[in-house]
């Protein structure tokens, strides 16, 4: 009921009023001036180009809770009182900032720069407007100034209507990505192929061993006990025989999906740093990893109706296999990050626990056949 009221509230409020309410709610977290790495001259030029007025005032809110850098919401005001909100993303991908990258068989980050710098075709409707797209250090450091989609869109909530809507739109997003890649190319997309899957197992096992030396986590401990069986199942040829590799978002979760406040068929998708060539079901797994079994079944059924070439049983088994792999990645990545980062995050152990339980559930479902 509360979620429904929030949706209705956002739908009819003018963008400026939503902006002012947001400022009031987060007034204790607002910092005067631009964030590090962004200068006033750039912002002033943007205001002149898009609003026809010079910049009067800027402040920002840090919205990447587990990173000291990351994403910021900029709150701009022009000389004549116009309000404008932008997203500034200062993305750094190196072990000094993200320790979990060490040993990971892929490097996230470059795909997002590739997507945003080639914003075209059918894929453009799913992307925020891009005002600045800069590769500071090739392969490692990127800066973006993006449309703040929350002016007209709202983040997907964990209720069945939103989840099912996002699942139903996923095949269309994949088609748009495939069409886009025919023009833009695929060289800068990550490869979630068999080589990645094999290397991932080594990354996972090493980090599970270290994590269990520091933490008595029952679900992680159970994965480690079952490791020979889990790794054998993960590498079974049947899953590679039925896989179709195609462009995917790579992190299609509720934090990265926004629905238009007046038209639920329109969505925006952000954070393309994990975009690559992989199995379409992996994006569905990202979306559904925190929802109940009934919503999962309905979403999978909706997805399968739009994706031909596999039987329903093959769809289900491939979905569970992707659930197994994504759970392993999440457990290992977050465990390594939590162990080695000087910036500890309170919610990470619970997230590791939930991801480990997902691995065990997917494994049990797959061996039940």
Tokens 């973006």 correspond to 144
Task: Please answer whether residues 133 and 247 qualify as being in contact, where contact means their C-beta atoms are separated by less than 8 angstroms.
Answer: no
Residue-level pLDDT, tens digit, the chain, 369 residues: 444 545 444 544 555 566 566 666 666 678 999 998 999 999 999 999 999 999 999 999 998 766 667 899 999 999 999 999 999 999 999 998 899 999 999 999 999 999 999 999 999 999 999 999 999 999 999 999 999 998 889 999 888 899 999 999 999 999 999 999 999 999 999 999 999 999 999 999 999 999 999 998 999 999 999 999 999 999 999 999 988 899 999 999 999 999 998 888 899 999 999 999 999 999 999 999 989 999 999 999 999 999 988 999 999 999 999 999 999 999 999 999 999 988 778 889 999 999 999 999 999 999 987
By residue count, the chain amounts to 369
**What pairs with residue 177 in β-bridges?**
none
Domain range annotation of the chain: 2-151, 155-367
Task: Please give the torsion angle defined by the CA atoms of residues 322, 160, 274 and 350, in that order, rounded to the nearest 10 degrees.
Answer: -80
90-122 as b/e, with b when 16 or more CB fall inside 10 Å? Answer: bbbbeeebbbbbeebbbebbbbbbbbbbbbeee
303-321 as b/e, with b when 16 or more CB fall inside 10 Å? Answer: bbeeeeebeeebbbbbbbb
User: What is the C-alpha end-to-end distance of the chain, expressed in Å?
Assistant: 39
Separation between Cα atoms, residue 173 and residue 59, nearest integer Å: 34
**What pairs with residue 60 in β-bridges?**
31, 74
| Domain 155-367, CATH among 3.90.1200.10, 3.40.50.720, 3.90.25.10, 3.40.50.300 | 3.90.1200.10
């Amino acid at each position: 009921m509360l979620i429904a009221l929030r949706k209705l509230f956002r739908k009819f409020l003018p963008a400026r009023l939503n902006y002012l309410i947001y400022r009031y709610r987060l007034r204790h977290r607002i910092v005067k001036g631009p964030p590090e790495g962004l200068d006033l001259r750039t912002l002033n030029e943007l205001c002149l180009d898009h609003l026809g007025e010079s910049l009067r005032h800027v402040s920002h809110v840090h919205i990447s809770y587990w990173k000291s850098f990351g994403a910021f919401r900029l709150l701009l005001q022009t000389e004549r009182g116009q309000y404008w909100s932008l997203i500034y993303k200062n993305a750094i991908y190196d072990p000094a900032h993200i320790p979990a990258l060490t040993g990971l068989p892929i490097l996230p980050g470059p795909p997002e720069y590739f997507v945003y710098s080639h914003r075209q075709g059918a894929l453009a409707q799913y992307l925020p407007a891009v005002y600045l797209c800069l590769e500071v250090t090739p392969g490692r450091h990127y800066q973006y100034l993006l449309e703040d989609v929350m002016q007209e869109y709202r983040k997907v909530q964990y209720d069945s209507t939103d989840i099912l809507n996002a699942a139903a739109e996923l095949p269309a997003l994949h088609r748009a990505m495939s069409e886009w890649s025919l023009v833009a190319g695929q060289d800068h997309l990550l490869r979630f192929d068999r080589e990645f899957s094999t290397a991932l197992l080594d990354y996972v096992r090493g980090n599970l061993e270290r994590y269990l030396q520091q933490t008595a986590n029952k679900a992680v401990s159970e994965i480690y006990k079952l490791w020979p069986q889990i790794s054998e199942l993960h590498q079974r040829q049947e899953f590679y025989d039925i896989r179709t590799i195609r462009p995917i978002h790579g992190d299609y979760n509720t934090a990265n999906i926004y629905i238009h406040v007046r038209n639920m068929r329109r969505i925006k998708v952000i954070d393309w740093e994990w975009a690559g060539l992989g199995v379409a079901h992996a994006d569905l797994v990202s979306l559904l990893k925190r929802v109940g079994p009934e919503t999962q079944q309905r979403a999978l059924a909706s997805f399968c109706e739009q994706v031909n070439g596999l039987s329903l049983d093959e769809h289900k088994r491939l979905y569970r296999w992707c659930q197994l792999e994504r759970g392993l990645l999440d457990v290992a990545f977050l465990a390594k990050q939590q162990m080695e980062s000087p910036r500890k995050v309170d919610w990470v152990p619970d997230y590791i626990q939930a991801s480990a339980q997902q691995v065990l559930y997917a494994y049990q479902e797959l061996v039940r056949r």
